[in-house]
Structure 1
Amino acid sequence: MIYKIKKGHTKKQILSKLNRYVAQWFNKKFKELTPSQKYGLMAIHQGKNVLISSPTGTGKTFTAFLTILSELYNLAEKNKLEDKVYCLYISPLKALSNDIYRNLEEPLKEINKIRNLNVTHAIRTGDTTQSERQKQLKKPPHILITTPESLAIMLSTPKFKENLKNIRWVIIDEIHSLADNKRGVHLSLSLERLQNFIGNFQRIGLSATISPLEEVAKFLIGYDGKKERDCYIVDVRFIKRKSLKVISPVKSLLTTPTELTLKKMYEQIVEDVKKHRTTLIFTNTRSGTERVVYNLKKYLSKDELIEAHHGSLSREIRKGVEKKLKEGKLKVIVSSTSLELGIDIGYIDLVIQISSPKSIARCLQRIGRSGHSLKDTIKGKLYCFDRDDIVECAIIARNAMRNKIDKIRIPRNCLDVLAQHIMGIAIEKKWNIEEAFELIRNSYCYRNLKFEDFISVLDYLSGKHQKFEKRNVYSKIWYDEENKMFGKRGKYARVIYSLNIGTIPSEVAVKVYTRDRKLIGTIEESFLDYLSKGDRFVLGGRVYEFLGSKGLKAVVREAFHEAPTIPSWFSEQLPLSFDIALDVSKFRIEMLKNLKPLKYLMENYNLDKNASLAIYDYFRQEALYLKKLGVEYNKNDLLIESYEDARDIKLIFHFLFGRRVNDVLSRVYAYLGGIENKCNVGIAVTDNGFCLIFPKKSIKTEFIKRLNHKNIEEIIKKAIEKTELMKRYFRHCSTRALMILKNYKGHEIKVRKQQLSASLLLDIAKEIENFPIVEETYREILEDKMDIENAKKILEKIENKELKLKFFSTSIPTPFAHNIVLLGLTDILMLEDKRKILEKFSKQIEKEISS
């Protein structure tokens, strides 16, 4: 059962429960309890599973450790503290592990001095040296700090595994960054394996602002057979004051030259920077981070130090930047996503977000890096220079201030992660299949796993499909169907497993060649996902048409005089959450029905005057133009706009469901539209809708009516089965399932070779009915990358007439269509050229309205 803790405790009550030396140290160090300590410490002391959700700087990490330190010192005083691991702390980041190690050093040193005791702690990650691991084997630390991957390796290391037998507490930090991806799924099975090995232990989850807390709690605790384990939630997510402002640098984003808009933005940011001690700036892409640093340096003095921090920088550079930040030497730090998590970065008093953060939770996590002490106000500014961005940020800011958070989605029944863990448990001992199935179903992520899917993974791992042996894929386990038992196969099983553990896929750059083998340059592998034959993109300032790929080589032809269909930065963009997309849609309808005045917008949506003016003008023009066209836009309407220009015909679907849903719908409609019209159909996808691009001829649109919630899954699988997306995700799933090895007996296998192997194996795998790794590839694409679940719900509402498709034609695209229409052109257009086209559209619309 899940319970919410509503009763807090006083400092006196808490101190009375602590070891006297720990209590003495704590009382001297801290004047009062933080809310997470007030509500969480007693439950942890009572041995309950606890999930604590609170902002950065509210003491949640020390809440988890305080009772544990107290218990360890109680054992030490009684001479009962053995050289064994009692507490396991799991962090998603090595940098965070290092932080926690340093942060524990102070209390341990000081308390050890008070009573001459010796409670120890150590780190064990991929960076830990062999000599340090040997030391830990001989004399294990009482508190072991590690990562999800290292835990899985420890569980399959017979000697060190014995040191885990006495674990009483497991702390999972930053659980929100694990719960919605396969690293979290992997960890959930590791925890069940640990529970199976040692019996019950106390689980403590620490999270920043996240929703729904009940589901995250279930992910943390799992099941005990048919019974859900108990968990107590400490919900203090919204205890700190917040200040949020959405800003447009200029009065009119359409009529102000782009260079001037950017100049004004940087001038305003510099003004903000000078008023604060340290400012953290977030962008949504790594290239954006570098661009902001480059431009801000022009405005700051040499004494005002600025640095970039993102995943493409070396570990040494990132650590150096973090050190400068902690020491207060930096005036500004600019990051993409790498500083979102709770690494200790010292004092930040302002967070600036450039463009929409795309989710409320991400917005709160980012701005929550400011005001590090409990009494400080969280302070954030969201700078926008696009009208759709301003609308998004207005909705995000309003919801954030009202403590309304978008929901995360936890992946279920991932068969590739399951395959990896089945090999892991097979290394430990021989298993009865019913016993193993019960262990796996104790994980929340596998609660609804079908027995036949479990057996299909056993069949694959045991080499039932002999076709794969021609491609050097051999059985990893033996499986006796008659006696219902399985176990490890081969003397190198443990080595292969340990060297290939984990879920994070390896990525490399894709080389782009012309048909005559001339190297043009490289593109990101994730960008390849969006390319279909005939798509055009910009590389090195020129347009090329995609012809196909082999391994990690893309083949193109020159298309210098044609317009691109997909922008090269597209794969870097974060998708807007479905919940916010629906809220933006509601806001659109309300504004079109009843245009709100500037003062109302400023007061209710945290907008500055320029931003509110931009929204007002945007919706005024849309409302008047739709009226002129005779289009009535009601809350149940889904508008489909047909627009023809000199090059092609564009069907613009004003479907405000976020890019993950629109990715599914656009691909399916394009597939059906291509068949019906006997042509290639281009796609441009945004969070606010998508565009199907047809050659200039009479097009049929009956295909739109043929799609429904029952046939969408079958059609989307046909639409993606031969795409680069399918090939790449199959490689990722095959690598996790140990079908393709990243490392064989200590020899690293290059990603290019892995991709070639994946392409060959995919052809074989497709011939086998319901092959688990192919099924998992489709599941991951449709459920994790895309959002087929909500796409089905939308189609069902269309079928039930809850939503109504409304078609209309335009000679000038509606304002809401402008960013969708111009999506592909943003690579060949300078920002200023794009602005001029938008301004031209706007003037044409104003002329139409007034005629």
Structure 2
Amino acid sequence: LISPTPNDLDFDLSDELGTTPEAASRLRRIGMLVEEHASTLIFAQGRGQVELLGNRLFRIGPGIDVHHGSLSREERHRVEDQLKEGILRGIVCTSTLQLGIDIGTIDLCIQYLSPRRASTLIQRVGRSGHRLEGRSVGVIIPAYGEDALESAVIMRRAERGEVERLDIPMKPLDVLAHQLTGLALEMKGIGRDEAYRLITGAHPYKGLDGWELDMVVGFISSMGLIAYEGGIIKPTGKGRRYYYMNLSMIRDERRYPFVNLITDRVIGTVGDEFWTLRARVGLNVILRGRVWKIIHIDDERGILFVLPSEDPLGALPGWDGELIPVPKEVALEVGEMREKIASEILRLGSAERAADSLSSSMKVEAEALRAMVEEVEMQLSDGFPIPSGRRMILEGWERYLIIHSSFGERVNRTLGCIFDAILSEHDMINGWWNDAYRILIEAPRRISGKDLENMEAWLLHISGEEAERRLLEFMEARFPFGYMMRFVAERFGAIPRGRTLTPREIERLHRRFKDTPIYIEALREAYREKLDLDEVKRVLSSISSGEVEVVRVMKGRPSPLAKHMLERYAEVPELLASRSSVDDQLDYMKRSIDSRRVNLVCMGCGGWSLSSRVRELEEAPACKVCGSRLLAVLKRGQTPEAFLSMVKRWMEGGPLDRGEMEAISYGRRTADLVLSYGKRAIIALAVHGVGPSTAFGILSRMQRNEREFYRELLRAKIKYIRTRPYWDEGRFNR
């Protein structure tokens, strides 16, 4: 488990890639690992993450490509063959390459970010050293403290052989419909009681009630898949076609091609979830490591027409389905580890000593361990309690309620659905999100101390029966049933497999199949795959008995552990965080600017230039040839040689085109600022989105201290990022 720390190279690389220095450091480390091995698989969670990672690694250097289920079969085979032939050194992939596909000898497997489950980690690392005398080698590269802690827990669980239990679906009604049709065909007619005896002899159907069998028999009989007379289930011609057209229960997901409008070539495909829930004209997506913009959607033919986009900042890898859910066992152990780390910090008096104490028991690189410990130390030093499986925290801040609940993704999603139903009655919810450790609720107004007290009573001090009733209420009112019901209906033979359905047609499925076995099975599938009501009932019972403590917190700022959730889902002001966190961000910003390389050109003589990191500059830099302080600060991408050539022609009265005149004008305005304000002007102009006009406004206010200066630069950067889409091209970097 390694977590590289950014150096000067990473600050430069982050500017080039449009990412953070921390991310650039991880990318550079991956590049180094790929270089050190003959063939490497780099696993990421989901197609979108694969494309983002592949996009960035492709820009660092050649020899790496991407592989996932949304690429065409031909494209996937090309990538696999090139790895076997040694043309490629590495593949960024999803689970498409974690199974037994023949892709030659793999030396190393890298897991980018947490693998989320022990079984996933074992399967992926096991792809390396896949020979009799081989040894599997894997590296996890997490992104932040919580990600590193989760990864460390999963590593330990994998080493202990604690692999997640495989859940077998019990009494699936769509499978039952298919089997009843098959029995009728095979036996040329079968009695209802005999069919019931045979079916309940199979383990998944031991608990099947007679009324459930009768309900399915009646439904498929009404569809003509069987004939049911006098207690005998008889075959039909329609049933024969249905049976042989539905031999697999795997979703027959249709693929929708991305077509490049320029070349008319298919560049990749997306599945039903993206088509149904996310596709829209104007959306930027990443495919095959490139950014594309959706220009037109052909609903009838199921085609998305795209053009290359030059806006990587606006690009979304938008077709990802849900990531592998973090199970409750992992989340609970993460909570236990947090408590252990907190105990060591309090016992030893510092995060550094706690990290040293823990290092012997954890196979974790020092930097990754430090990130885990520092995150817990920040939570403690800010006066917030540590959440765990024994302690839930209700944290109120501004319009947000953050419920720290270390019970895994399915439990927290279930709680979120229940909370939505309850808070809707009180007009206290705009929306909510969850991960494995938190539920974030946005309220329509600022949350008071009394609101927080009421919310605890409404949400956490309820019976299991009340929770079940509220969950069903939410499911029937707001769960996206149509999308799930479509696949169940296909397996029942109620709609053709693979047919393109518009969003409106999918919405109508809910009404069409209400109170049928299709509706009941879709509901069961949602409960089975997405939710965990039984565990929620146990949590609520533990709260009632006092086994799980509930703590309310309201400090006027969010806790460090709430920051992950707020940054991911909420639009919060000024990097959202507590004072210490904002100060950390300002310190980080200063370090980032100090490490940035700038190019200066003398506009006094036109014969001198300097390329230097900001921290190495004098407070009042001057030309080494003529002594002038009229130094232009060049934009990114401008070379000193080209600009010096323009300056000389300008000074000699030579010809300059419009673009060159604008560059000279911009350079002169920056030079005037350097003349007046020295190094502070260069610092301001080194900030993304801060041009001469904005820099002058900040510099002329003469802040009381350095921190105020950087705070104003941060505000200017945030304003630029937020308003950039509405600016005319010519007004960038004003």
TM-score tier by shorter-chain length is 0.5 to 0.7
Match of 1:449 in 2: 208
- Could you tell me how far 1:568 is from its partner in structure 2? 6.1
Q: Check conservation: 1:364, 1:400, Cα contact below 8 A.
A: yes
Distance 2:131 2:69 in 1: 27
Q: Which residue identity is paired with 2:445?
A: K
Q: Is the 8 A contact 1:638 1:803 kept in 2?
A: yes
Matches within 5 A, 1:154-193: none
Aligned to 1:723: 478
Q: Helix, strand or coil for the counterpart of 2:518?
A: helix
Matched, 1:762 2:516: no
Deviation at 1:530, TM superposition (A): 8.9
Aligned residue for 2:333, secondary structure, equals: helix
1:350-382 deviations in Å (ceiling 9; x for gaps)? 000111111010011001101112332211111
Q: Distance in 2 between matches of 1:421 and 1:414?
A: 11
What CA deviation, in whole Å up to 9, does each residue of 1:756-789 have, x standing for no partner? 55544532543x4xx3222211111112222223
In structure 2, relative to structure 1, the CA distance for the partners of 1:576 and 1:495 (3 Å cut) is same
Partner of residue 656, structure 1: 406
SS at match of 1:807: strand
- 1:262 alignment partner in structure 2: 23
Task: Specify the SS of the correspondent of 1:605.
Answer: coil
Q: What residue number does 1:29 align with? A: none
Q: Which has the higher contact order (CA 8 A, sep 6+)?
A: 1
Q: Which residue of 1 aligns with 2:224?
A: 475
Q: What amino acid sits opposite 1:625 in the alignment?
A: D
Q: CA deviation at 1:844?
A: 5.8
Deviations 1:455-481 (A, max 9, x none): 211111111xxxxxxxxxx3311123x
**TM-score, with length taken from structure 2:** 0.65
Distance 1:578 1:530 in 2: 28
- What does the per-residue CA deviation read over 1:553-583, in whole Å, with 9 as the maximum and x for residues that have no partner? 9xxxxxxxxxxxx996774432212211111
Question: Residue deviations 1:126-146, cap 9 Å, x none?
Answer: xxxxxxxxxxxxxxxxxxxxx
CA RMSD in angstroms, aligned pairs only: 3.7
Asked if 2 retains the 8 angstrom alpha-carbon contact of 1:709 and 1:796, the reply is yes
Aligned residues with identical type, % of pairs: 25
Amino acid at match of 2:510: L
Match for 1:776: what amino acid?
Answer: E
| Residue 837 (structure 1) shift | 5.2
**Higher-Rg member (1/2):** 2
Secondary structure (helix, strand or coil) at the match of 2:554 reads strand
Question: What is residue 90 of structure 2 aligned with on the other side?
Answer: 332
Counterpart of 1:842 (choices 578, 581, 599) is 581
Aligned AA (2:204) = C
2:157 corresponding residue in structure 1 = 399
**Structure 1 equivalent of residue 677 of structure 2:** none
Contact 2:47 2:320 in 1 (8 A): no
Q: Secondary structure at the match of 2:20?
A: helix
Change (3 A) 1:844 1:329: closer
> What is the aligned counterpart of 2:64 among 284, 306, 317?
306
Distance 1:741 1:367, change over 3 A: same
Q: Are 1:426 and 1:487, in contact at CA under 8 Å, matched by a contact in 2?
A: yes
Question: Judging changes above 3 Å, is the alpha-carbon distance between structure 1 residues 251 and 435 closer, same or farther for their aligned structure 2 residues?
Answer: farther
Partner of 1:487 in structure 2?
Answer: 234
Q: In the TM superposition, what are the counterparts of 1:825-836 in structure 2 within 5 Å?
A: 825=570
Corresponding residue for residue 213 of structure 1: none
- What is the CA distance between 1:816 and its match in structure 2? 1.0
Amino acid in the other structure paired with 1:498: Y
* Pairing 1:807–2:564 present: no
Which of 416, 424, 433 is residue 182 of structure 2 equivalent to?
424
- Equivalence for 2:196: 437
TM superposition shift of 1:316: 1.4
Once residues 538 and 708 of structure 1 are traced to their aligned partners in structure 2, the CA distance between those partners, rounded to angstroms, is: 47
Structure 1 residue 589 corresponds to structure 2 residue 339: yes
CA contact under 8 A between 1:306 and 1:331: conserved in structure 2?
yes
Partners of 2:58 and 2:107 lie apart in 1 by 20
Q: Tell me whether 1:499 sits opposite 2:245 in the alignment.
A: yes
Is the 1:387–1:614 Cα contact (8 Å) retained in structure 2?
A: yes
| 1:635 positional shift | 6.2
| Residue type of the alignment partner of 1:319 | H
Aligned to 2:433: 684
Structure 1 partner of 2:442: 693
Q: Distance in 2 between matches of 1:264 and 1:329?
A: 25
Deviation at 1:347, TM superposition (A): 0.6
Could you report, residue by residue, the CA deviation over 1:419-474 in whole angstroms, capped at 9, with x for unpaired residues?
122222222220122222232223332232222211211111111xxxxxxxxxx3
1:751 is aligned to 500
The answer to whether residue 469 in structure 2 is matched with residue 714 in structure 1 is yes
State the one-letter code of the partner of 1:401: E
Which 5+ residue runs of structure 1 have no aligned equivalent?
A: 1-244, 464-473, 512-521, 532-536, 542-549, 554-565, 743-748
Q: Write the letter of the residue equivalent to 2:522.
A: T
Residue in 2 aligned with 1:675? 425
| CA displacement at 1:504 relative to structure 2 | 3.0
Does residue 328 of structure 2 align to residue 574 of structure 1? no
Q: Unaligned 5+ residue runs, structure 2?
A: 259-268, 286-298, 303-315, 346-352, 587-734
Change (3 A) 1:498 1:260: same
State yes or no: 1:286 paired with 2:34.
no
* Cα distance change of structure 1 residues 846 and 760 upon mapping to structure 2, 3 Å threshold: closer
One-letter identity of the residue aligned with 2:395 = E
What is the number of residues matched between the two proteins?
Answer: 529
TM alignment of 1:243-642, pairs within 5 A: 245-250=1-6, 258-300=19-61, 305-428=63-186, 429-463=188-222, 474-480=223-229, 482=230, 484-489=231-236, 491-505=237-251, 506=253, 526=273, 571-595=321-345, 597-626=354-383, 631=385, 636-642=390-396
User: Counterparts of 1:523 and 1:281 in 2: how far apart (Å)?
Assistant: 21
Secondary structure at 2:361's aligned position in 1?
Answer: helix
Measure the CA separation in 2 of the matches of 1:663 and 1:621.
27
